[in-house]
Amino acid sequence: MKLKSVNNIYFIGIGGIGMSALARYFVANGKQVAGYDKTPSDITNVLDKLGVDIHFKDAIEYVPKSFLNSEQTTIVYTPAIPKNHSELNYFKHNGFNILKRSEVLGEITKQTICLAVAGTHGKTTTTSILGHLLKECNVPVTAFLGGISENYNSNLILNGTEVSVVEADEFDRSFLTLSPDLACITSMDADHLDIYGDASELIKSFQDFVKCIKPNGKLFVKNGLPLSGITYGIEDDSDYSAKNIKIENGSYVFDFITPDETCKSLEFNLPGRHNLSNAIIALAMAVEYGCPIKQLAEALASYKGVKRRFSYQIKTDDLVFIDDYAHHPEEINAVHQAVREMYPGKKVLAVFQPHLFSRTRDFMTEFAQSLSKFDEILLLDIYPARELPITGITSKKLLNKIQNLNKKLIKKSELINEIKNSDAQIILTIGAGDIGEEVKHIKQAFKVEN
């Protein structure tokens, strides 16, 4: 794919967070962009304002006529699109150039110095921190994010084209299309077993990703992972580490240890040791790229986070409401650690929407153990995403495994009343499905405007 020679880019699944970042990129580079998605969203509304023609019915007659010329149009699709999608099949049978999102990302980043963030958890936050650090250090960077940055209200940071920052996504082995100069691996916990079958195949895919790093490139790994590379961690003997950690006014203050020097009293405003770990690897990669530590310290202090990653929605003396994308037991554990560290002794209500029948099946016991740690649990039905139901796999079954009597399975229509009837001082909404759409309704119920 020679991007400069392509005039039209058509996206199937344009409302996806990764797809929409690419769509923004092509709009910024003067391409004609259009696309299909299943339903309207805040993301599609933003793209519409940028002049992108989007429709929500899977029918070829809705595709703009100028995009039906196979010589001038490239089709980009996400693996989440079903195989029987009529538009995708039309393009396949009519000679169009069709690429997965990951292939396009690989093509864009091939001509850049590419910094890639891999791992089963922490990719989006780490990528957004790294993109922000580089931009604030005046690096000519384009960063493709898997979430909406609070600093830029966008999933794309545009500050030049010499350097790229990307999430290296293990789903569907997408990250094997990349050729990074610097890459990190944050974690390799079992996930996406509907794709991989078992954890050993997932680990093998990370090993294959390491082989994609350019010959003179560098690999960074979380201390303790079974891979060789530059190590990072928290309060340990890693090559890059955070030490002397304190909490001041809801923020972390810590010393940043590098192989060559120590930078004292850095400030980081996101709660949770998992987020602090994400900050350390972002700093490490920026240092290895060549950014001055003093500038990095200033940039880190101004980082605001990613929407739906421990995002404060209400923060008063009487009530705190936090929304988070966590959809794996380890991510829920990280949210629990963060909220207990920041709000010791407070009663915490967790509202969880499981994501995928297969993930719920594969980690039923682990989900139950993670959720049992909260003081009160409200459980919603499983969000199916790309899957059909699996016999016997339900939220009711998960509820029965939770070792906490203060639990309840509810419908979305009951959510506001159940929250209002709780005496919890901390409310958490957790999950990767459409639970994020309930945030505005909860805020309205407590008379907090968006």
DSSP string, 156-195: EEES-SSEEEEEE--GGGGGGG---SEEEE----S--HHH
Beta strands in 48-140 (DSSP E): 53-55, 73-77, 97-100, 113-118
Q: Are 6 and 144 in contact (CB under 8 A)?
A: no
Instruction: Assign 413 to helix, strand or coil.
Output: helix
Q: How many Å separate Cα 445 from the centre of its chain?
A: 28
Two structure tokens written together for 180: 């990074």
**pLDDT (0 to 100) of residue 190:** 54
Helix (H) or strand (E) holding 243: strand 240-248
Q: What is the spatial distance between Cα 28 and Cα 290, in angstroms, rounded to a whole number?
A: 27
Numbered ranges of CATH 3.90.190.20 in the chain: 311-445
Q: What is the spatial distance between Cα 166 and Cα 20, in angstroms, rounded to a whole number?
A: 14
Q: Phi and psi for 148 in degrees, rounded to 5?
A: -90, 115
Q: What is the spatial distance between Cα 399 and Cα 387, in angstroms, rounded to a whole number?
A: 21
**pLDDT (0 to 100) of residue 191:** 54
Query: What is the per-residue DSSP string for 60-76?
Result: GGGS-GGGG-TTTEEEE
Cβ-count burial of 370 within 10 angstroms (0-12 exposed, 13-18 middle, 19+ buried)? buried
Two structure tokens written together for 142: 């384009």
Two structure tokens written together for 300: 């880190």
Query: What length is written for the chain?
Result: 450
pLDDT tens, the chain, 450 aa long: 566 778 999 999 999 999 999 999 999 999 999 999 998 988 999 999 999 999 999 999 999 999 999 999 999 998 888 889 999 999 999 999 999 998 999 999 998 999 999 998 889 999 999 999 999 999 999 999 999 999 999 999 999 999 999 998 876 677 888 999 999 999 886 554 455 456 677 788 889 999 999 999 999 999 999 898 999 999 999 999 999 999 987 789 999 999 999 999 999 999 889 899 999 999 999 999 999 999 999 999 999 999 888 888 998 888 999 999 999 999 999 899 999 988 999 999 999 999 999 999 999 999 999 999 999 999 999 999 878 999 999 999 999 999 999 999 999 999 999 999 999 999 999 999 899 889 999 999 997 665
9 closest CA partner among 67, 94, 88: 67
Q: What is the spatial distance between Cα 393 and Cα 395, in angstroms, rounded to a whole number?
A: 7
Helix (H) or strand (E) holding 123: helix 123-136
Question: At a CB cut-off of 8 Å and minimum separation 6, what does 151 contact?
Answer: 128, 132, 302, 303, 304
**pLDDT (0 to 100) of residue 188:** 80
Question: At a CB cut-off of 8 Å and minimum separation 6, what does 248 contact?
Answer: none
Inter-helix orientation angle 101-110/17-28, to 10°: 40
For tokens 């560290």, the residue is: 341
Which fold does the domain 3-99 belong to in CATH?
A: Rossmann fold (3.40.50)
For tokens 């060559």, the residue is: 260
**pLDDT (0 to 100) of residue 192:** 45
Numbered ranges of CATH 3.40.50.720 in the chain: 3-99
Instruction: Assign 381 to helix, strand or coil.
Output: coil
240 closest CA partner among 274, 273, 284: 284
Instruction: Assign 223 to helix, strand or coil.
Output: coil
Cβ-count burial of 322 within 10 angstroms (0-12 exposed, 13-18 middle, 19+ buried)? buried
Name the H helices within 243-342. 273-289, 293-301, 329-342
**pLDDT (0 to 100) of residue 385:** 85
Numbered ranges of CATH 3.40.1190.10 in the chain: 112-301
Two structure tokens written together for 159: 């500050």
Cα dihedral across residues 404, 408, 412, 415: positive or negative:
negative
Q: What is the spatial distance between Cα 441 and Cα 411, in angstroms, rounded to a whole number?
A: 14
Identity of the residue numbered 164: S
Q: Are 349 and 424 in contact (CB under 8 A)?
A: yes
The DSSP bridge partners found for residue 167 are 117
**pLDDT (0 to 100) of residue 30:** 94
Q: What is the DSSP letter of 383?
A: B
**311-445 placed in CATH 3.90.190.20:** yes
- Which CATH architecture group holds 112-301? 3-Layer(aba) Sandwich (3.40)
Instruction: Assign 47 to helix, strand or coil.
Output: helix
